[in-house]
Amino acid sequence: MIVQYRILHQQLKAEWVNVRAAAEKAQAAYADIGNYRVDAAALNLQGFYSGIERLFEWIGRQIDGTIPQSTSWHRDLLRQMVLDVPGIRPQVIKEETAKLLDEYLGFRHVVRNLYSWDLNTAKVARLIDLLPQALDKIEVDLDEFGRFLQSAGEVDSED
């Protein structure tokens, strides 16, 4: 079981590189603004949140043993990551981080369900402006969770 923590820790670190790249591409696309650049920024914002959600799915499946099955499972999964689960794991992200990520979750739904010309440029700009703060908060939270995974892996190897 604890070997699984070590593997998960490495998977999380590797996927984080992709999440950060999506965020950087969104920022770069938006910096060179134009209608098509807004589309590119929006698409990469979607990729940013999808990557974060992928991390949460791995944690839910491999550590918690479950991910939500409801029709609102995306939001429920985000809420699950805020929970401290005694005897299983600490919270993955702080409440403040979850509130910030909830904006990206909602926007991803919009990107997936609207035509690109219907995108709200001001909303894209706001989410781009929030990206540095979001990245910092998520990285701090995931680093803390990674320390838990490392320490859990070390405890098991001593047995």
Nearest to 26 by CA among 139, 142, 108, 137: 108
pLDDT tens-digit readout, 17-61: 888 888 888 788 777 665 557 888 888 899 999 999 999 999 999
Q: What is the pLDDT of residues 86-142, one digit of tens each?
A: 999 999 999 999 999 999 999 998 888 776 667 788 888 899 999 999 999 999 999
Condensed to tens digits (0 to 9), the pLDDT of residues 142-155 reads 999 999 999 987 76
CB 27 within 8 A of CB 49: no
Band of residue 157 on the pLDDT scale cut at 50, 70, 90: low
Residue type, 120: N
Q: Determine the distance from the C-alpha atom of residue 82 to the mean position of all C-alpha atoms in its chain, rounded to a whole number.
A: 12
Does residue 56 contact residue 77 with C-beta atoms inside 8 Å?
Answer: yes
Q: Which fold has domain 2-158?
A: Four Helix Bundle (Hemerythrin (Met), subunit A) (1.20.120)
Q: What is the largest CA-CA distance in the chain?
A: 59
What is the pTM (predicted TM-score) of this model? 0.81
Say how many C-beta atoms besides its own lie within 10 A of residue 68's C-beta. Answer: 15
Its sign, for the CA torsion 46, 50, 52, 53, is positive
